[in-house]
Structure 1
Amino acid sequence: MPISSAMAVKASSRINSMFRILWLSAIVGMLAACGSVPLPPEPPIPTAPSAPRGAPPLATPEDGAPLPPARIQGRTRWQPVRWAELPGFTDDALNEAWNAWIRGCERPVPALARLCPEVRQLSIGTPEEQRAWMMQRLQPYRVEPLAGNESLLTGYYEPQLDASRMPTAAQQVPLYRPPADLATRRPWYSRQDIDTAPQARAALRGREIAYVADPLDALALQIQGSGRLRITEADGRVSNVRLAFAGSNEQPYRSVGGWLLQQGATRDASWPGIKAWARANPQRLNELLWSNPRVTFFREEPLSEFDAAFGPRGAQGVALTPGRSVAIEKDSLPYGTPLWLSSPGPLLNLNRLVFAQDTGTAIVGPLRADYFVGWGDQAGEVAGRLKQPLALWVLWPR
């Protein structure tokens, strides 16, 4: 919904009252920062100037000030715009995004670090106060590719699987730690080699973390780069752990869905469609799996109750927030950048604040994003089908 200039004036009038309560939230801000890496010295928080009694509300930069020049970043042009251009800006529940912003402040780039003290203090602000602060402190820029105009939003998730520490009749598909000679052989053995070549199998002996039942679930976990396991231990105890990315065999990534399309085997190359084809064609399962030679190796991490409320750590080095973290092409959109994302589509209708906190080998293109949906089967169903047009705006400090 476009923002009228009257709304912008109304929002700015709250800045004065908002800053008067910020000192009360200092302790909350410090708690939210626990466990973060050291930040640069924090500048003093600006105090909004007071308006004389009976005077009109303070003006914001939206009230007609000249726009800054365009910026070139990587393969994109950042074109400055007014806040009114951002679809649905008045409707987003910004307080739901604030945890993702606080997590991003654990490892901010220098240009964004100076905002982090205020971000932490606004963690107890209302969405209206957060929105008014954003309009005061940030300038929106429309992201435009320097070449071409292709845009695409896809989804990714964290698989959640039952597993066993030892192979059983039902669970025989291993998930591995990196082999000891991974750095000495590049690329390392392919997926087919790991299944069939004695040298590859010997190199991975004793590197098994756990075993799962479905080879396609193991493949999905490798493609996503991390996952959650509910492991039955040898003594019968059950442990909840996270498998985090620890390396790969550096073979080229090939889409198994793309392979099926090339074979003319299916018209539905979504992940649910791939699994349906595999159930109907079990004799060709290895052929499907081996079409993607890339294999991911993992490290095991404990999954505390607090960690379970967030996703794995993305490439920025901070835990991902479902629905608020995206993977991007890092040369065009620096890690930690707040973004306004708009993607009206048949599966999800999205107009919301998100953060560039991850990347991936498949994220190629300046107007390309992978939306972190969450974890478990339902998230996997959405992520496996999400493919929609995308528009992005960078929200950069003034």
Structure 2
Amino acid sequence: MAARFYRRLKRACAGALLWAGLMAPPASATDVSYSILSFDQLEGWETDDHAAALRAFLNTCGDMKDVDWRNICAYAKSDPDPRQFFELLFRPVLIEDGNEAMFTGYFEPELDGDLYPSDRYRYPVYAMPPEAKANNPWLTRRDILDTDVMKGRGLEIAYVDDPVELFFLQIQGSGRIRLPDGNYLRVGYRGANGHPYRSIGVELVRRGVYDPHQVSAEVIKNWVRRNPDDGRELLYHNPSYVFFREVNQVPADQGPLGAMNRSVTTLRTVAVDPKFVPLGAPVWIEKEGKEPMHRLMIAQDTGSAIKGAQRADVFFGTGDKAGRAAGKLRDPGRMMVLMPIQRAYALLPEPLL
């Protein structure tokens, strides 16, 4: 059955190559290279939980539109052997753009808040104003927070009790707000003001406050709280400002919505740069560092700071424990995209005659 399916898929892919656009590098991207590897070149491949990766793949593959991806998704739903499924239909592709690989982590924060302002809950979580949609870039973080431009317009989704946690909620792009009655309000990324993201951790290192290996999310939060005036100015160093939307269709026991508008999966979802990696594609990561990670994940999310062919952000889950684990991650390694076979070989340069 698998062999017949593959022959049908190969014929479908051959036609799809003519119109789908694929992932062919633009003419100006001369610094991007593609190398096809074998599965036995992936360190730790044989010992991974391929069934867990297949479940994560099934969560979003139905939203992939091209013919070859649709056919692969249909076969994935037929209960194939998980490892054979990936080895039969994909080839690992190493995509390099001249920049070093970098893995970081992200998570879904939980904040304490309320639907109404009070002495405790006085920092608003804003929806996106129409002028921010129409103008790119719009006002900076300082302009948004230090003026009355957002006030009296009904743009407040909720109010939280900690401006530092709100800042990091914007970095993560989604989160849950724990309400006084014990219920949760989940918010997701709606858009941004169009200004580039600037790391306040990097800025603290530049100022000589910390060495690079000392910086983590918790270290930054504690520094800002110990230095309220300088901390406020430090947050303004990042001019990017994220707006949110209420996400009420996702149960509290499932992960937040990623860029594909589906729940992401703890330690199986990775955020990537869609310029290089198609959303929904399986991705094999080989993260180095103190705690190596060799794992098959699915590219189901993006992030404003995730730029480059070898840049990835691993989803660690919800809450403080996940946040501490994600905040420690900043390691090198390499990442391979599992591409349908025809797509993989289409990425290679034409041989010289």
Task: Give the alignment's TM-score, normalised by structure 1.
Answer: 0.74
Question: 1:284-363 alignment to 2 at 5 Å?
Answer: 284-302=230-248, 304-305=250-251, 308-314=253-259, 316-346=260-290, 348-363=291-306
1:195 Cα deviation (Å)? 2.6
**Alignment partner, residue 190 of structure 1:** 140
Larger deviation, residues 176-185 vs 348-357: 176-185
CA contact (8 A) 2:95 2:336 kept: no
1:136 alignment counterpart: 88
Larger mean Cα displacement after TM superposition, 207-216 or 161-170:
161-170
1:177 is aligned with what amino acid?
Answer: A
Q: Given the alignment of the two structures, is residue 82 of structure 1 paired with residue 38 of structure 2, yes or no? A: yes
CA contact under 8 A between 1:106 and 1:318: conserved in structure 2? Answer: no
Question: Cα distance, 1:46 vs. partner?
Answer: 6.2
Match 2:310 to one of 355, 360, 367: 367
C-alpha distance in structure 1 between counterparts of 2:250 and 2:334, whole Å: 36
- Deviation per CA, 1:178-198: give whole Å up to 9, x if none: 124323444332222223223
Pick aligned residue for 1:252 from 190, 193, 196: 196
Residue 36 of structure 1 is matched in structure 2 by none
* 2:78 corresponds to: 121
1:376 and 2:331 aligned = no
Residue range with higher mean Cα deviation, 382-391 or 184-193 = 184-193
- Once residues 310 and 272 of structure 2 are traced to their aligned partners in structure 1, the CA distance between those partners, rounded to angstroms, is 8
CA displacement 1:335-383 (0-9 Å, x = unmatched): 111121111221x321111112222221122111111111111111122
| AA aligned opposite 1:191 | R
Distance 1:191 1:79 in 2: 41
Q: CA deviation at 1:278?
A: 1.7
Give TM-score scaled by structure 2 length: 0.82
* 2:36 counterpart letter in structure 1: P
In structure 1, what residue type is equivalent to 2:292?
A: N
Task: Go from structure 1 to structure 2 and tell me whether the alpha carbon gap of 1:288 and 1:78 turns closer, same or farther (over 3 Å shift).
Answer: same
* 1:45-72 deviation digits (Å, cap 9, x = unpaired): 469xxxxxxxxxxxxxxxxxxxxxxx96
Whether the 8 Å CA contact 1:240–1:303 is kept in 2: the answer is no
| Contact kept in structure 2, 1:329 and 1:368, CA below 8 Å | yes
The residue number in structure 2 matching 1:263 is 207
Are residue 145 (structure 1) and residue 96 (structure 2) matched?
Answer: yes
Amino acid at match of 1:88: G
SS at 2:183 equivalent: strand
Query: What per-residue deviation string (whole Å, max 9, x for no partner) do you get for residues 75-130 of structure 1?
Result: 543322222111111111112222211012121142322111221122xx6xxx31
Equivalent residues of 1:107, 1:318 under 8 A apart: no
Aligned to 1:25: none
Q: Tell me the residue number matched to 2:110.
A: 160
| Residue matched to 1:281 | 227
2:179 to 221, 224, 231: 231
Distance 2:284 2:265 in 1: 15
**Structure 2: runs of 5+ lacking an equivalent:** 8-22, 342-353
Take 2:286 and 2:224, find their aligned partners in 1: how far apart are those partners?
34
List aligned pairs for 1:68-107, cutoff 5 A.
73=25, 76-107=32-63
Deviations 1:226-284 (A, max 9, x none): 1111223xxxx443221111122222322111222222222333211101212322232
Q: Which has the higher contact order (CA 8 A, sep 6+)?
A: 2
Secondary structure at the aligned position of 1:114 is classed as helix
Assess, with a 3 A threshold, how the Cα gap between structure 1 residues 328 and 304 changes in structure 2: closer, same or farther.
closer
Give the equivalent residue in structure 1 for 2:187. 243
**Aligned-pair CA distance for 1:215:** 0.7
CA distance in 2, matches of 1:166, 1:90: 52
d(CA) in 1 for partners of 2:308 and 2:333?
12
How many residues in Structure 1 have an aligned counterpart in Structure 2? 319
Alignment of 1:6-21 (within 5 A): none
**Alignment-mate amino acid for residue 209 of structure 1:** I
Identity percentage over the alignment? Answer: 34
Deviation larger for 359-368 or 212-221: 359-368
SS at match of 1:90: helix
* Alignment partners' CA distance in 1, 2:302 and 2:250: 25
| Worse-superposed segment, 177-186 or 87-96 | 177-186
Q: Which residue identity does 1:266 align to in structure 2?
A: Y
Contact kept? 2:174, 2:256, Cα under 8 Å: no
